[in-house]
Structure 1
Amino acid sequence: MRIVSLLLLVIFIGTGCSSQKKTDMASTVIEYSAMSRGYYKKIVVQNQTVSVTNKRDAQAVENTIKKTDWDKIVAEFEKINVESIPTLKAPTEKRFYDGAAIGNLKIIQNQKTYETQGFDNGFPPKEIEKLVNLLTDFAKE
C-alpha cells in the first residue's frame, strides 16, 4: 500500500511540475532577431502567436501557431536552461567580417530577460539550435 501511495505521489508531483512549465509558456516571450547592414528579420513568439518583421520600419505580420508547431516549440524550450543563455558560445564567427548577419535570441520569462551574445544567423549555439530553427521556419512561410 505504501508503494502505491508513493507512486501516486510521484506521478502527481511530476505532472504538476510539467503543467506549471507549460502555464509559464503562456506569458513567456521568445524573440529571435538577425540583422546586418542590408538584412533585418525579427520573429516574436508569445502565447501561440508569431509575429514576423522582414524589414526595418516594416509592419509585422502576425499569425496563429498551429498546435503541433506550438507543442514542438514548448518541447524544445523545456530542454533549454534559460539561466545559461547569456553564456552560450557561438560556433562560428562569420559575423565579424560581414559573412553572416548577427543573430540573437531573447527570452522574457517571469519579468526576467535572458539574452544570448551575438552569433551567426543560421549557425546558433548547439544548445538552442533546434528552437532557433523552429522560429526561423515561421519566417520562411
Structure 2
Amino acid sequence: MTITPLYAGLLGLLLLVLSFRVSMQRRRHMVSLGDGGKPALQAAIRVQANFVEYVPLALILLVLLELSGQPPALLHALGAALFLGRVLHAQGLTSNPGGKSFGRLWGVLLTWLMLLAAALLLIVRAITGL
C-alpha cells in the first residue's frame, strides 16, 4: 500500500494546521473552553470538527479500495478529491464564517462525491467481485 498512506499523511498535516488555527483563535480571544461567542473561533472549531467527522471514514473507504486492487489512478483521484475538498472547505468557511462561499460549497461537494464514489465502488465490488 502506497497511495492511501500518502493521502493519510497529507490529511494528517492538514488536521494539524486546522488544530493550530483553533489554538491560535483560542489564544487571541482568551477562550479556553467553548467558543466564547466569537465567530472566528466558532468557524475554526467547525472547520476542524467537520474534518474529523468526514476524513476517518473516507480514509477507511480509500484503504479498502486500495486493498481490493483498484487502479492507482482511481485511488489518486479519490484521495486528491478528498484532500482538495477539505482544503477548500477550510478556506471557504474561514474566509466567510457566517455564510456561503465557493470554497465551502465545493469543499463539501468534493468530499461527498469522494465518499459516494468510494462507497458505491466498494458495494459493487462486494456484490459482483469486480
Q: TM-score, normalised by structure 1?
A: 0.27
Structure with the higher strand share, 1 or 2 = 1
TM-score between both structures, scaled by the size of structure 2: 0.29
Task: Indicate the structure with greater helix content.
Answer: 2
